[in-house]
A = this chain, B = another copy of it.
Amino acid sequence: MDKIPVGILGATGAVGQKLIALLAGHPWFEVCEVVASDRGVGQEYGAYVSWHEAQVIPDRVTKLRLKSCKEPLNSRLLFSGLTAEVAGPVEAAYAAAGHIVVSNAKNHRLEDKVPLIIPEINSEHLELITPETRKKGYIVTNPNCVVVMLALALAPIYRHFGLEKVMVTTMQAISGAGYPGVASLDIIGNVLPHIIGEEEKIAPETKKILGELKNNAVKFADFKLSASCNRVPVREGHLLNVALQCGRRVTRAEMIAAWREFGSQKLALPSAPREVVRFIDQPLRPQPSLDLMAGNGMTVTIGNLRACEVLDWKFAVFGHNTIRGAAGAAILNAEALVAAGWLGERR
Give chain A's interface residues, CB within 8 Å of chain B.
52, 54-55, 165-167, 169, 171, 174-175, 179-194, 196, 203, 224-226, 228, 230, 232-235, 239, 241, 243, 283-293, 303-304, 308-311, 314, 316, 318
Contacting pair A234 B191 (CB below 8 A): yes
Complex Cα distance A34/B197, Å?
A: 33
Q: Which residue among A180, A189, A314 has the maximum number of chain B CB atoms within 10 Å of its CB?
A: A189
Known: A167-B167, A171-B232. A191 touches B287 (CB 8 A): yes
Q: Which residues of B contact A289 (CB under 8 A)?
A: 54, 185-186, 189-190, 235
A186 to B166, CA, bound (A): 29
A289 to B193, CA, bound (A): 12
What is the distance, in angstroms, from A73's C-beta to the closest C-beta of chain B?
A: 29
Q: Which of B167, B171, B287 contacts A171 (CB 8 A)?
A: B171
A265 nearest CB across to chain B (Å): 20
Q: A181's contact among B184, B291, B308, by CB below 8 Å, is which?
A: B184
A230 and B239 form a contact (CB under 8 A): yes
A199 closest partner in B (C-beta): B306
A188:B304 contact, CB within 8 angstroms: no
